[in-house]
Amino acid sequence: MNIYKPELVKIVDIVLETPDIKTFKLKFKDDSLGKNFSFRARQFAEYSVFGEGECTFCIASSPTRQEFLECSFKIAGKVTNALKKLNVGDTIGLRGPYGNYFPLEEMKGKNIVFIAGGIGLAPVRCIIWNVLDLRDQFKDITIIYGARTVADLVYKNELDEWKSMSSVKTILTVDPGGENPDWKGEIGFVPAVVEKAAPNSENTMAIICGPPVMIKYTFPVMMKLGFNEEDIITTLENRMKCGLGKCGRCNIGNVYVCKDGPVFTYKQLKEMPDEF
């Protein structure tokens, strides 16, 4: 068996999230593969454009929604530029799922705080919908999401949906200067907005994903709010290529992000060489 062989998936919908981020909705060409494909929130896949190469993104849709898979990508290099040019009906390759996942079982019965910045909302969105689809198994849910500007916020329809839900507290923010005249959310960097919102740390787990600088400055805020290091969960995306622990591109010290991660607790990160 060739472990690098991708399966074929068809693009069934494309959303232009921001000027440089797109979301693809994908369906397996072989229905039986689609039905048997199972993954957990925050696992990732390798997506290939034939003749161009592969790139790594998380699966951005929830495992509770089986009809299709979604991935969101920032247009930043050769493969993502090739992906950008594809249309509905085109076929790409997909292999996976790979990596570990968010500890959903451990999160049950607890308050959950989701904190994300920019396209870092993609893996968090996956676990948000996973949790919302099992809403009665969790206590209070808070979502804090920020982007550089209003135009850079991703999944805008879903942000409105979360805001309209009485069972979820959703706080949106943009960096100073990134607001427009219609903006009704917060203005400020994510760590400052988290500090101001001051979510209760008692019986609470936090999921954090975003640019390294955002994560770096959010950790001390979480400690100040009284969170345990083991209850702060984040994800890394280190130059992954093979996704299988073979190419040696993703390692930090002895840790392979693709196999041992990409999900790590803050406690685990502190024991690794500094990534931020």
**Residue numbers at the binding site for ligand FES (CB under 6 A):** 240-243, 245-250, 256, 258
For ligand FES, the closer CB: 99 or 117 = 99
> Least distance in Å: CB of 264 to ligand FES?
14
For ligand FES, the closer CB: 139 or 246 = 246
Determine whether 5 is exposed, middle or buried from the number of CB atoms within 10 Å of its CB (0-12, 13-18, 19+).
exposed
For ligand FES, the closer CB: 177 or 248 = 248
For ligand FES, the closer CB: 17 or 46 = 46
**35 by DSSP, 3-state: which?**
helix
> Least distance in Å: CB of 54 to ligand FES?
11
Bridge-partner residues for 142, per DSSP?
A: 113, 169
DSSP 52: T
Q: Which residues neighbour 260 within 8 Å (Cβ) at sequence distance 6 or greater?
A: 100
Rg, Å, the chain Cα set = 18
Element (H, E) at 204: strand 204-209
> Least distance in Å: CB of 237 to ligand FES?
10
**Cα dihedral sign for 75, 243, 106, 40?**
positive
Rounded to whole angstroms, how far apart are CA atoms 258 and 240? 7
> Least distance in Å: CB of 88 to ligand FES?
30
Could you count the other beta carbons within 10 Å of the beta carbon of residue 175? 16
For ligand FES, the closer CB: 188 or 245 = 245
> Least distance in Å: CB of 2 to ligand FES?
16
